[in-house]
Amino acid sequence: MFSKVILTEDGSSSVFSSIFNASYHSMHGSIQETDHVFIDSGLKYFHNQDEISIFEMGFGTGLNMLRTYMYWETQKINVRYTGLEAYPLSSNQVNELNYLAVLEREDLKDMFSKSHSDGKYSDKNDHGYSFSFKLENTKIENYELPHREYDLIYHDGFGPSVQPFLWEEELLQRFYCSLKAQGILVSYCAKGSFKRALKNVGFMVESIPGPIGKREMTRAIKTIV
């Protein structure tokens, strides 16, 4: 067993990886971090669009996908979501995660478990808009990112001190090329070297207020076609 389910300060689950000696989320709270960094600062940025394509670097527990799905349920927007995860959780670990109980959404148990076990899920909401999810269980080095495919990238891998190559120019250039014009990348990371690397590959970088426990986070915009 290379990882174990733990609790964070907002009462929601995370996972601690013994391989990387790091937790998947802020210990100040998994749900509050996801909502602030990826939903409020990323997904809601596209509130005027009726379609969005998302790529997640570091699917992990599936919390970002879950919260994206919950936002989509009430919106008039089609969502296409691709998650990448090199170290998928076991079915027992997925069952240990308490997000559905904390969020009082036990009705989503089938959706959440199938997203992990089957690596795909699709649905339509009451407005007739679609949600399409697929999970790729591989490393980013082995994954061919499509050109100009995504509107939004959730960059949620382990931090620069743990997996430095995830935050360096070579990979960020690939992310840049995979985004559409005016697409954005959001991350909890606000390290100076990361922001400089983003600028070097062409992003316009915004330092915006971070979640609880972090002064800043990063939003990077592809302003050039």
Q: Where are the domains of the chain?
A: 32-92+108-221
User: Residue 109 — pLDDT band, cuts 50, 70, 90?
Assistant: very high
Per-residue pLDDT at 38 exceeds 80: yes
Integer CA distances (angstroms), 189 to 100, 151, 225, in order:
26, 20, 25
The CATH architecture to which 32-92+108-221 belongs is 3-Layer(aba) Sandwich (3.40)
For residue 97, what pLDDT is reported? 98
Share of the chain above pLDDT 90, in %: 98
User: Residue 224 — pLDDT band, cuts 50, 70, 90?
Assistant: confident
Q: Are strands 51-57 and 22-23 parallel, antiparallel or unpaired?
A: unpaired
Per-residue pLDDT at 178 exceeds 60: yes
Note the pLDDT tens digit of each residue in 54-64: 999 999 999 99
To which residue do tokens 């070579």 refer?
170
Per-residue pLDDT at 189 exceeds 90: yes
* 112 Cβ neighbours under 8 A, 6+ residues apart: 62, 66, 94, 99, 100
Question: Cα 110 from chain centroid?
Answer: 20
For the chain, give the mean pLDDT.
Answer: 97
Note the pLDDT tens digit of each residue in 1-34: 579 999 999 999 999 999 999 999 999 999 999 9
For residue 2, what pLDDT is reported? 79
> Which tokens go with 196?
């400089």
Per-residue pLDDT at 225 exceeds 70: no
d(CA 191, CA 126): 41
Do 218 and 189 form a contact (C-beta atoms < 8 A)?
yes
d(CA 33, CA 56): 15
Once rounded to an integer, what is the mean pLDDT over residues 83-96?
Answer: 97
Nearest Cα residue to 3 out of 25, 22, 31? 22
> Which tokens go with 18?
């013994």
